[in-house]
């Protein structure tokens, strides 16, 4: 069986240009700039689109590093809004978490902020602003952050697939309407044009029998995606950057906003055929990744991949652990009659809606002045999440990965949990990272509409 040469593989990666950062970040930190850009998003025949992106592209070029490395970047804000960088899923010191008003001041247009932190975990992560996130992510400010294992599994190609969901008008301009209350109270700002690495489809060549690592990142503001494989024999090896202890074959992967999945996929299609990763929609399957299969017929597939080496995450101990409840309410067809705003005032629904608030968590709409709870460093916190709404929510915790607590035992380590309407689920995590950490819905329209809170891990 012939595998793509290293040169081919690197050629295939060029689109993403995930360059390893310079070894010594001691002198001047490399610059990470959020800036306006103009890119071809829509098919030929349409105009190019004005976006905001890291380095002026959408998604941004991304950062690639090795587990244990430090990331040092001088963030420069060149967009006409206050901004920040949140390193989604990275277990970093609180001051580097990029949450304006909580961990750092907002970075104004023309301002800078130095991010400098170590990478404890290998895996597939990403970064995005954490202020006015719906508009800033919706205009393109997203990029992959890929952290390689000390000894990465052997694959013929390592492909990052960042999915973005755009709402474009007939001239391929990004539609305004970021405050739209209808979006906020329903499934969020669902776009009308999806891209993968900024293009309608990503395509690569690989031989029959070749082994691909696919790092899929759902960077959509609000859309849940269901992915399907065709002509690939895929195994799910990591979720939200964290390796799974048990590697299982999969044909479909469901990703809520901000969630990631790593697949190790062997090309099972024959030479001359195509293999695909697709997005499964009600009206059919849309290509995300197209593999033009070459090589020799009848290539044998390799044995199932071994699990990736685990990351050094402290396990939660649920026995006797403190528990808190997090009740989500509101949204269209919801039962939220009133809620408190950050100032502590109880307000009726109409008053809240005028402020753009249509959701609450534990009776509070918008960022609460008080944390959901405080927890001593080293203890385990259990959060019982009650989705008392008619909508799904992608619940994200900063600074830690958690496990779901289920009757069948602990779930995989994750940083974002997709909850369906009326579900009740419980998560637990070892609170080993001191600071104030947000817990919020990663459907960014819902977050803007009030679904956010925080926990304090005492130092
Ligand atoms: Cu991906 Cu609070 O963020
Ligand atoms: Cu939500």
- Note the pLDDT tens digit of each residue in 187-224: 999 999 999 999 999 999 999 999 999 999 999 999 99
Instruction: Say if ligand 1 is within 6 A of residue 260 CB.
Output: no
**3-state SS assignment for residue 143:** strand
Q: What is the pLDDT of residues 298-357, one digit of tens each?
A: 899 999 999 999 999 999 999 999 999 999 999 999 988 899 999 999 999 999 999 999
Q: Kindly state whether residue 4 falls inside one of the protein's structural domains.
A: no
Answer yes or no: do 424 and 450 share one domain.
Answer: yes
Task: Please tell me whether residues 167 and 288 are part of one structural domain.
Answer: yes
**Does residue 7 lie in a domain region?**
no
Q: CATH no. for residue 380?
A: 2.60.40.420
| Residue 425 to residue 422: CA distance in whole angstroms | 10
Closest by Cα among 274, 268, 4, 29 to 158: 4
**Number of domains the chain is built from:** 3
Starting from the CA of residue 256, give the closest ligand: 2
Tokens 């902020």 belong to residue: 113
100 and 124 in a single domain? The answer is yes
What atom of ligand 1 comes closest to residue 128's alpha carbon?
1
pLDDT of residue 346: 97
CA geometry: angle at 443 spanning 260 and 75, to 5°? Answer: 70
**Given this model, what pLDDT does residue 88 score?**
98
Structural domain span for residue 224: 157-294
**CA 135 – CA 141 distance, rounded (Å):** 9
CB 387 within 8 Å of CB 427: no
State in Å: Cα 422 to ligand 1 middle. Answer: 23
**For each of the chain's 459 residues, which pLDDT tens digit applies?**
333 333 333 333 333 334 444 444 445 899 999 999 999 999 999 999 999 999 999 999 899 999 999 999 999 999 999 999 999 999 999 999 999 999 999 999 999 999 999 999 999 999 999 999 999 999 999 999 999 999 999 999 999 999 999 999 999 999 999 999 999 999 999 999 999 999 999 999 999 999 999 999 999 999 999 999 999 999 999 999 999 999 999 999 999 999 999 999 999 999 999 999 999 998 889 999 999 999 999 899 999 999 999 999 999 999 999 999 999 999 999 988 899 999 999 999 999 999 999 999 999 999 988 999 999 999 999 999 999 999 999 999 999 999 999 999 999 999 999 999 999 999 999 999 999 999 999 999 999 999 999 999 999
The shares of helix, strand and coil residues in the chain, as percent rounded to the nearest 5, are: 5, 45, 45
The closest-lying atom of ligand 1 relative to the alpha carbon of residue 99 is 2
* CA–CA distance, 36 with 53 (Å, rounded to integer): 6
**Whether residue 142 is found in the same domain as residue 185:** no
Tokens of 207: 């031989």
Of the residues 113, 131, 148, which one is the last residue of a structural domain?
148
Asked if the structure places residue 247 within a domain, the reply is yes
- pLDDT tens per residue, range 237-265: 999 999 999 999 999 999 999 999 999 99
Phi and psi based region of residue 195 (left: phi greater than 0; alpha: psi -120 to 50; beta: remaining): beta
Structural domain contains residue 166: yes
Rounded CA-CA distance 75/72 in Å is 9
- For residue 130 and ligand 1, the question of a CB distance below 6 A is answered with yes
Residue 184: which H helix or E strand, with range?
A: helix 181-185
Cβ–Cβ < 8 Å for 417, 410: no
Same-domain status, 336 and 410? yes
Q: How far is the CA of 414 from the centre of ligand 1 (A)?
A: 13
248 inside domain: yes
CA 432 from centroid of its chain's CA atoms: 22
**Residue 364 belongs to a domain:** yes
Neighbours of 229 (CB within 10 A): 21
pLDDT at 335: 81
Cβ 258 under 6 angstroms from ligand 1:
yes
Q: Is the CB of 403 under 6 A from ligand 1?
A: no
How far, in Å, CA of 276 to CA of 265, rounded? 11
CB distance 442 to ligand 1 below 6 Å: yes
| Strand ranges in 268-337 using DSSP code E only, listed in sequence order | 274-281, 284-294, 322-330
Q: Distance of alpha carbon 60 from its chain centroid, rounded?
A: 14
Q: What is the per-residue pLDDT for 28?
A: 82
Q: Which of 127, 148, 169 is the last residue of a domain?
A: 148
Output the pLDDT for position 15: 36
- The pLDDT of residue 27 is 57
Do 177 and 95 fall within a single domain? no
- Kindly report the protein residue whose alpha carbon is nearest to atom 1 of ligand 1: 88
């Amino acid at each position: 069986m012939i595998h793509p040469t290293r040169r081919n593989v690197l050629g295939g990666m060029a689109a993403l240009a995930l360059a390893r950062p310079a070894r010594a970040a001691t002198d001047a930190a490399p610059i990470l700039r959020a800036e306006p850009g103009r890119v071809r998003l829509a098919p030929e025949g349409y105009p190019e689109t004005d976006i905001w992106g890291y380095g002026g592209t959408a998604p941004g070029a991304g950062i690639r590093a090795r587990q244990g490395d430090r990331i040092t970047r001088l963030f420069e804000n060149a967009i006409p809004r206050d901004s920040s960088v949140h390193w989604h899923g990275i277990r970093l010191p609180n001051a580097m978490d990029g949450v304006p008003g909580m961990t750092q001041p907002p970075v104004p247009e023309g301002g800078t902020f130095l991010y400098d932190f170590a990478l404890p975990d290998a895996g597939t992560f990403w970064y995005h602003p954490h202020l006015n996130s719906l508009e800033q992510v919706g205009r393109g400010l997203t990029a992959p952050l890929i952290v390689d294992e000390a000894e990465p599994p052997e694959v013929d190609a390592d492909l990052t697939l960042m999915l973005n969901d755009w709402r474009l008008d007939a001239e391929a301009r990004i539609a305004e309407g970021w405050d739209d209350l209808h979006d906020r109270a329903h499934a969020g700002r669902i776009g009308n044009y999806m891209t993968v690495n900024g293009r309608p489809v990503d395509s690569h060549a690989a031989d029959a029998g070749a082994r691909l690592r696919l790092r899929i990142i759902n960077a959509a503001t609000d859309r849940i995606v269901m992915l399907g494989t065709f002509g690939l024999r895929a195994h799910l090896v990591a979720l939200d950057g964290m390796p799974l202890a048990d590697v299982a074959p999969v044909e479909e992967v469901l990703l809520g906003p901000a969630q990631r999945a790593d697949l190790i996929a062997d090309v099972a299609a024959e030479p001359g055929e195509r293999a695909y990763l697709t997005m499964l929609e009600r009206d059919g399957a849309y290509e995300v990744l197209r593999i033009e299969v070459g090589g020799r017929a009848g290539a044998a597939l390799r044995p199932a991949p071994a699990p990736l080496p685990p990351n050094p995450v402290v396990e939660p101990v649920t026995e006797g652990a403190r528990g808190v409840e997090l009740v989500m309410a509101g949204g269209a067809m919801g039962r939220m009659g009133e809620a408190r705003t950050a100032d502590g005032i109880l307000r009726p629904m109409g008053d809240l809606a005028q402020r753009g608030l249509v959701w609450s968590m534990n009776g509070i709409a918008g960022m609460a002045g008080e944390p959901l709870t405080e927890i001593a460093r080293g203890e385990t916190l259990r959060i019982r999440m009650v989705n008392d709404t008619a909508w799904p929510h992608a619940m994200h915790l900063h600074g830690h990965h958690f496990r779901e607590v289920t009757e069948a035992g602990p779930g995989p380590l994750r940083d974002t949990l997709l909850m369906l309407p009326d579900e009740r689920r419980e998560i637990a995590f070892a609170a080993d990272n001191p600071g104030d950490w947000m817990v919020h819905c990663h459907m960014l329209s819902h977050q803007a509409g009030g679904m956010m809170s925080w926990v304090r891990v005492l130092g």
